[in-house]
Amino acid sequence: MLQHDNARSHTSLKTMEAITKFGWTVLPHPSYSPDLAAPNFHLFRDLKNVVCDTKFETNDDVIHIVRTWLHEQDKDWY
* 42 and 72, same domain (yes or no): yes
Per run of 10 residues, the mean pLDDT along the chain (length 78 residues) is 74 88 84 60 76 89 90 82
Q: Which domain holds residue 22?
A: 1-31
Same domain, 42 and 63: yes
Measure Cα distances from 36 to 2, 17, 32, 44, 59 in Å.
Answer: 21, 33, 9, 10, 22
pLDDT at residue number 51? 84
Residues 43 and 26 in one domain: no
pTM: 0.44
19 and 48 share a domain? no
Judge if 42 and 25 occupy the same domain: no
Q: Are residues 23 and 47 both part of a single domain?
A: no
Are 43 and 73 contained in the same domain? yes
Domains contained in the chain, number: 2
SS (H, E, C) the chain: CECCCCCHHHHCHHHHHHHHHHCCCECCCCCCCCCCCHHHHHHHHHHHHHHCCCCCCCHHHHHHHHHHHHHHCCHHHC
